Amino acid sequence: MTQRINVTDFNLAATLECGQAFRWSRDADGWYTGVVWNEVWRLRQDGNNLEWQCSRGPARGQPNPLPEPRADSRLHDYLTLDLSLPAIVASFPQDAALQQAVEAHWGLRVLRQEPWETLASFIASSTKQIVQIRQIVAHLAERLGENGAFPAVERVARAELPALAACKLGFRAKYLLAAARMVESGAVRLAELPAMEYGRALEELLKIPGVGEKIANCTLLFSCGHHEAFPIDVHVQRSLKRLFPRRKLTPPKIRAHFGPYAGWAQQYLFYAERIRARPA
DNA sequence: CTCCAGGTGGCGC
DNA sequence: GCGCCACATGGA
């Protein structure tokens, strides 16, 4: 069964391919297939029309679409369709590079993903190319998850280090295991991050070994609703260097400059910079 | 072959 | 605080 909803100021391709999610792939016919929570979703956009299919259960094999009465609200929530993109963009500074990125990729939205999967995925991301991050996440889901879903905190916490290393995590395996155990034990209160003040939530995540400012900010932005979180990786660093040549930039100054939705601005800069470095 | 990838922790200074 | 470097693995 296919549901159709009307969308405005939304760009499915940019949203799913901008590097914030690692489980989406595009078919030849324009459908995107991904695993969200424990379900397989398929999405396709044609102008203001968004088509959505959902099937519970196995990620492998043929999806078995089922009617989903509350589908619309879950889809709206995941895609952050409740926020006004024009209002967000209006809060951005007038930097030419940022305005160009917004124009080029209009409709890119920061998703609301599941916090544990997001934290784990970005722990796996350090000094890895996006294609490899996708492979690691797929390995984790296939080898440790149930029916293709990303493995729950408890599953990872009880895994052996070699089993994680077999998912191509390399030296990051010990960090993922530590993160799972700290979340499971309550040493890191992952579920409470969305309700915490930004600075407090950042400190909470920095308790985890292998999690620094970059990974913590990715988790806060992409899964905890902290839109001011501004992850700085090598690409964004390059972009900032061009925007502000020989300027001393601290994270608080950067967040102040880009405003309450600094993280959204960051994602436009990141995507534009990555395409600039590696044209499609 | 070399260089680099959505980084971080540990070291010396 | 800073500047290095190791860390696993694979793509370009």
Secondary-structure class of domain A3-62+74-87 per CATH: alpha beta
Q: Which residues contact A152 (CB under 8 A, 6 or more apart)?
A: A116, A145
How far apart CA A103 and CA A180 sit, in angstroms, is 39
**Can you tell me which residue has the tokens 């044209």?**
A279
Report field, pTM of the whole predicted structure over 0.85: yes
The domains of chain A are located at 3-62+74-87, 115-223, 234-277
How far apart CA A37 and CA A187 sit, in angstroms, is 24
Instruction: Give me the helices (H) in A54-169, please.
Output: 71-79, 85-90, 96-104, 115-123, 130-144, 153-157, 161-164
Q: Which residues pair with A50 in a beta bridge?
A: A5, A45
| Domain A115-223, CATH | 1.10.340.30
**Measured CA angle at A131 (ends A127, A135), to 5 deg:** 95
- Chain B positions with an atom below 7 A of a protein C-beta are 4-10
Residues in A 94-153 whose C-beta is less than 7 A from nucleic strand C are 127-129, 131-132
Q: Which residues pair with A34 in a beta bridge?
A: A41
Characterise A139 by phi-psi region: left (phi > 0), alpha (psi -120 to 50), beta (else): alpha
Same fold, A3-62+74-87 and A115-223: no
- Chain C positions with an atom below 7 A of a protein C-beta are 7-12
State mean pLDDT over A85-109: 98
Q: What is the pLDDT of residues A244-254, one digit of tens each?
A: 988 889 999 99
State mean pLDDT over A16-35: 97
With a pLDDT cut of 90, the percent of chain A lying above it is 89
With a pLDDT cut of 70, the percent of chain A lying above it is 94
Token couple for A115:
């916090």
Q: What is the pLDDT of residues A54-68, one digit of tens each?
A: 987 554 545 555 555
State mean pLDDT over A134-153: 97
Q: Which nucleotide C1' is nearest A132 CA?
A: C10
Instruction: Give me the helices (H) in chain A, please.
Output: 12-17, 71-79, 85-90, 96-104, 115-123, 130-144, 153-157, 161-164, 173-185, 198-206, 213-223, 234-243, 251-258, 262-277
With distances taken from each CA to the C1' atom of nucleotide C6, the closest residue turns out to be A171
Contact (Cβ atoms closer than 8 angstroms) between residue A207 and residue A232: no
Contact (Cβ atoms closer than 8 angstroms) between residue A273 and residue A106: no
